[in-house]
Chain A
Amino acid sequence: MKTNQSFRLVLVALVGLLCLAGPAAAELRIDITRGQVEPLPVAVTDFFGAGQAEIQVGRDVARVVSGDLERSGLFAPIDPRAFIQTPETLRVQPRFGDWRIINAQALVTGLAEQQADGRLKIEFRLWDVYGELQMAGLAYFTTPDNWRRVAHIVADAIYKRMTGEDGYFDSRIVYVSETGPQDKRIKRLAIMDQDGENHRFLTDGRALVLTPRFSPSTQEITYLSYFNNKPRVYLFNIDTGQQEVLGEFPGMTFAPRFSPDGNRVAMSMAHNGNSEIYVMDLRTRKVTRLTNDPAIDTSPSYSPDAKYIAFNSDRGGSQQIYVMNAAGGEVKRISFAKGRYGTPVWSPRGDLIAFTRMAEGKFYIGVMRPDGSGERLLTEGFLVEGPTWAPNGRVLSFFRQTPGDAKGRGATSRLYTIDLTGYNEREVITPLDGSDPAWSPLIP
């Protein structure tokens, strides 16, 4: 009887101990609050090809994909000379150990194959080297001469899978190509792929052109042109080459920009010494006035949800950025630091407004949140202007002028891109000088 009791006691004690042990065996927890800001090492292998032509295409596609990823600043393609595994054996299965040795965190493999019907098949796979998994895999069929475009599409797919954001490599940039002495500058509209390839001129340079803007939905550009010395806003269709004046206004119109759906163009009109912002519906050609203030109101830019318009105005004494409702009204100033602010451009992802700021004899390209907070200046120079967002709202393009001598000789104007973190500033190589870049949406 007594034993039984002590036995019970022991049991109770044991159970109690077990209860204590349960929660106490919790895991060790460590907070990781810092990491590295550096590009992700990625191995882009030549896409496998069986025949001579296919081998060449496979190599070219890999080169374009690798170039796109590298320029984004988020990826560091590994020198192919370090690769251990060959494209032939990669067709079967990657030997992930071979890729970990050279520090690759992601691996891109692919295939270029001529089809019986004359089409070209380009296929890629993205591998997680440490997880030893395929992360993405797609195939495209196209005409053989369209390989470059497919390469950009492949790069976009990889970018999206790795960063979560849509890519921007399958896009173009229209800009003003400049040549000749400063007093007799020839300015032509030109267009190229975002990496500078496939460059061509759109206008012949007889009329001065300024501030081209891409339609977010169609292959159309709106811009300012001086025809017969009269500055007007024009519409240009890239596919057809057709050009038309946008409306007959009593005064000069300038600073046009499309609405997010591409159906409207907001612009400024100067009349009797006063500039106001107007919007024109491209379908009905109906024009509505949005601002009414004796100050200069210009550079309208829609928010991606089309609810608001950012613009700049000197109504407060100096030129600053304001936001109003898209139908006009409820004007709110959002920039307050010293200097002047201009050309606000709303990011396609909505979280930032890019702008130009002029202070103490210098120009800056910066970003701020739509409520004016978090202002950050990304780059500076003698003259940096014309920010334009890549379609994913991650990268900006702008142009940078450097001064020449007293007569303006040696001055240059070049296009650049920069990541919104302020890093990875790069020149976009153009045949001549360039200014006023405008990034297209992703090519439909």
Chain B
Amino acid sequence: MTRGAILSAILHIAVLLLVIFGLPFFWSPDETLEIVPVQIATMADLAAAKSQETPPKPVEKTEPKPLPPPAPPQPLPQPVEEPVPEPEPEPVPEPEPVPEPEPVPVPEPVPVPEPVPEPAPVPEPEPVVAPEPVPEPEQVAETPPPEPKLVPPQKPKPPKRKKAVEEPKPEPAASDFTSVLKNVEKLKQTASAEPTPPEPETLPAPQPQPAVNPADQLSASDIDAIRQQVAGCWIVDVGMRGIEEMAVEVHVQLNPDGSVFTADFDRTMAATDPNWWIFAESALRAVKKCSPLPMPTTRPYSAWQYLTLVFNAREMLGL
């Protein structure tokens, strides 16, 4: 009986403690989620009148389909046993009255296997011609501890200013392109109308936070600092075909100091467009280059240990 009572008391206390201390923690990410979109709108407003509110999830999911090979599509020719492949550079038979010999037939590419990391500086490491590709030896060597952070926190660079063509004549251009795609006509308009919208770097006055557990949540400026830094690391090829439609989620696990422990993109989002892999790689490079991220160490680690970054270039394209 007493044992039962004691057990009951202990459990009651545990529940009570959970309610007092545990719940706020459990709830906090949810609150954060609510805040993010609100803050985006504010930033965007400040940044530029033209930028529209970012939809919370502009990610269009394609239905799950057989994944393309994880490695981006590359038409690597099958391993050739020997360097025998190409139609030999026979002297080109050319009855040409014009001077100059023609280029020799295209040499066939032969896939090169990965080199085996050899500690000893052997002068003749001939792993290169090894007939079958050595399956990624260096991955094995990878150690679990996070990378030494060689990259200091990047200062987000302001985007390239377009060079304005000073031509006061504003012409009605029926185009929806923004600065990343040059339009001579458009430039004329913007040159006379208004200078490039200022960067949202100047943080606005701290927003009034919802009263619930302010200590645990990432504030709007916390999130904006992360966003700014990653945007500064992400190099986007805006001329890529299909860029308007592309989006990728990069799942990041962070170390307590904000450095990136693991990061990978969500392969289930792979679009049919092979360029999607290139796009996803660029996002992943950005995350790795940006390590360590400016995580608010004043907030509990658990509030930001797992981070999902959703990349799309729609704002750059004025969409």
A: which residues have CB within 8 A of B?
A: 3-4, 6-7, 10, 13-14, 17, 20-21, 24-40, 74, 89, 91-93, 97, 100-101, 105, 111, 115, 119, 121, 123-125, 128, 130-143, 145-146, 149-150, 153, 157, 160-165, 170, 198, 200, 202, 238-241, 337, 349, 351, 360, 364, 374-380, 394, 419-423, 443-444
Residues of B within 8 A of A351 (CB): 241
| Bound form: Cα–Cα A364–B285 in Å | 37
Residues of B within 8 A of A360 (CB): 169
Closest 10 CB pairs of A and B: A422-B182, A3-B4, A35-B234, A137-B112, A35-B236, A164-B278, A33-B315, A130-B288, A164-B275, A142-B107
| Bound form: Cα–Cα A394–B151 in Å | 33
**Partner among A101, A111, A364, A394 whose Cβ is within 8 Å of the Cβ of B184:** A364
| Bound form: Cα–Cα A349–B239 in Å | 12
Residues of B within 8 A of A163 (CB): 237, 240, 278
| Bound form: Cα–Cα A136–B236 in Å | 21
Residues of A within 8 A of B183 (CB): 376-378, 422
Known: A36-B157, A146-B89. A29 touches B118 (CB 8 A): no
- In the bound complex, do residue A138 and residue B109 qualify as a contact, i.e. CB atoms below 8 Å apart? yes
**Partner among A31, A39, A89, A165 whose Cβ is within 8 Å of the Cβ of B54:** A31
Residues of A within 8 A of B182 (CB): 376, 378, 421-423
Tally B residues with Cβ within 8 Å of A. 122
- In the bound complex, do residue B181 and residue A422 qualify as a contact, i.e. CB atoms below 8 Å apart? yes
- In the bound complex, do residue A30 and residue B307 qualify as a contact, i.e. CB atoms below 8 Å apart? yes
Known: A34-B315, A137-B112. A93 touches B117 (CB 8 A): yes
Give the shortest distance, in Å, between B144 (CB) and chain A (any CB).
Answer: 14
| Bound form: Cα–Cα A33–B85 in Å | 46
Residues of A within 8 A of B83 (CB): 115, 121, 139, 141
Give the shortest distance, in Å, between A148 (CB) and chain B (any CB).
Answer: 9
**Partner among B7, B54, B98, B309 whose Cβ is within 8 Å of the Cβ of A3:** B7
Give the shortest distance, in Å, between B37 (CB) and chain A (any CB).
Answer: 9
**Partner among A17, A138, A238 whose Cβ is within 8 Å of the Cβ of B110:** A138
- In the bound complex, do residue B112 and residue A125 qualify as a contact, i.e. CB atoms below 8 Å apart? yes
CB interface residues, B 229-288, toward A, < 8 Å: 230-241, 251, 274-275, 277-279, 281-286, 288
Q: Does B95 contact A (CB under 8 A)?
A: yes
Known: A137-B113, A378-B184, A394-B239. A29 touches B308 (CB 8 A): yes
- In the bound complex, do residue B180 and residue A421 qualify as a contact, i.e. CB atoms below 8 Å apart? yes
- In the bound complex, do residue A132 and residue B138 qualify as a contact, i.e. CB atoms below 8 Å apart? yes
Residues of A within 8 A of B23 (CB): 17
14 CB-based A-B contacts, threshold 8 Å: A26-B29, A35-B282, A35-B311, A36-B231, A36-B236, A93-B117, A111-B128, A133-B139, A134-B114, A141-B83, A164-B277, A165-B275, A170-B106, A200-B100
- In the bound complex, do residue B307 and residue A20 qualify as a contact, i.e. CB atoms below 8 Å apart? no
| Bound form: Cα–Cα A163–B26 in Å | 42
Known: A30-B307, A131-B288. A161 touches B180 (CB 8 A): no
- In the bound complex, do residue A239 and residue B102 qualify as a contact, i.e. CB atoms below 8 Å apart? yes
Give the shortest distance, in Å, between A24 (CB) and chain B (any CB).
Answer: 5
